[in-house]
Amino acid sequence: MTDAALIAAQRKLIAPLLTTSLRDAVAHYFALEHDPARTQLTLIYEAPGQPAAFVAVCQTGIDLFRPMVVFRGKDESATLEALRQGLQRPRAYLFSALPEQRAALTRVAEVHNDAVNAIFALSPADFRPVINVLVQTTRTPEGLFRATIRASDGSLAAEAGISWMSSRYAEVFVHVAERFRGRGLGKSVVSAVSTHVLEAGRTPLYLTALSNVASVRLAESLGYRNTGQEEWSGTCTVL
């Protein structure tokens, strides 16, 4: 069996461990739709052909040195075993998980810079776009959309883009240089990216901690709505 065929077969087996809920959107993309050539899956079985847990380790353009990790399991024991088998020691990773998976991950890794993020989603009916002629659009080497605004000296004032795009969703990120905050530049670049995602037939997702008031206000000003779903993310180093 070729590597591509193996990944396809593994993905078919683990699909029932994921739901169509927005709280599984990130894991669904990386486990089931990310480039198979840059994805490694580890499955733990409760019976032949019946996985009880999985870990997906994905090389991405988000961080060239720290792979993205997502995981799911029917119980903590199976999840722990999948993490122990699927993660290398010592190595640092990015991760996205459910808040209730904290206990499993912290038993095998030290967690850093983590946050519980609310998942905001944007529907076409709610979208309130803004147009700013200063916005420039490009694509990354992976083909993902970017929108930027540059200062008069050429430095980057604001940038938004797509972290990943699945068959249903796309996660939008934004960064505004500190000296340019409070001018609406973040809203302008996020609006441009959101327009692109909607035109591509996907639902834009915006993940942020509710304690980040400025970020929440930006999202809501464009029509994003808090779905009530959450994800837990950060970096970790395997013990």
In a domain, 238, yes or no: no
User: Residue 109: how many CA atoms within 13 Å on its side-chain side?
Assistant: 28
Give one DSSP letter per residue of 168-215, joined into a string. Answer: SEEEEEEEE-GGGTTSSHHHHHHHHHHHHHHHTT-EEEEEE-TT-HHH
81-93 pLDDT, tens digit per residue, is 999 999 999 999 9
Q: What is the pLDDT of residue 1?
A: 60
User: How many whole angstroms separate alpha carbon 36 and alpha carbon 109?
Assistant: 25
Q: What is the pLDDT of residue 62?
A: 87
Same-domain pairing of 44 and 73:
yes
Q: What is the pLDDT of residue 208?
A: 98
Average of per-residue pLDDT across 155-176: 97
Same-domain pairing of 216 and 149:
yes
Same-domain pairing of 60 and 104:
yes
In a domain, 230, yes or no: no
Same-domain pairing of 178 and 212:
yes
Expressed as residue numbers, the domain containing 111 is 3-115
In a domain, 56, yes or no: yes
For position 204, which CATH number holds? 3.40.630.30
Q: What is the pLDDT of residue 184?
A: 96
Average of per-residue pLDDT across 20-30: 96
Is 53 a residue whose pLDDT tops 70? Answer: yes
In a domain, 192, yes or no: yes
In a domain, 37, yes or no: yes
The pair of three-digit structure tokens given for residue 21, joined into one six-digit string: 């809920």
User: How many whole angstroms separate alpha carbon 26 and alpha carbon 164?
Assistant: 8
Q: What is the pLDDT of residue 4?
A: 85
Domains in the chain: how many in total?
2
Same-domain pairing of 166 and 210:
yes
Task: Look over the chain and give the mean of its residue pLDDT values, rounded to a whole number.
Answer: 96
Same-domain pairing of 131 and 84:
no
Q: Please state, for a pLDDT cut of 90, what percent of the chain lies above it.
A: 95
**Would you place residue 221 in the very low, low, confident or very high pLDDT band (cuts 50, 70, 90)?**
very high
187-219 pLDDT, tens digit per residue, is 999 999 999 999 999 999 999 999 999 999 999
* In the block, residue with structure tokens 């999948």: 82
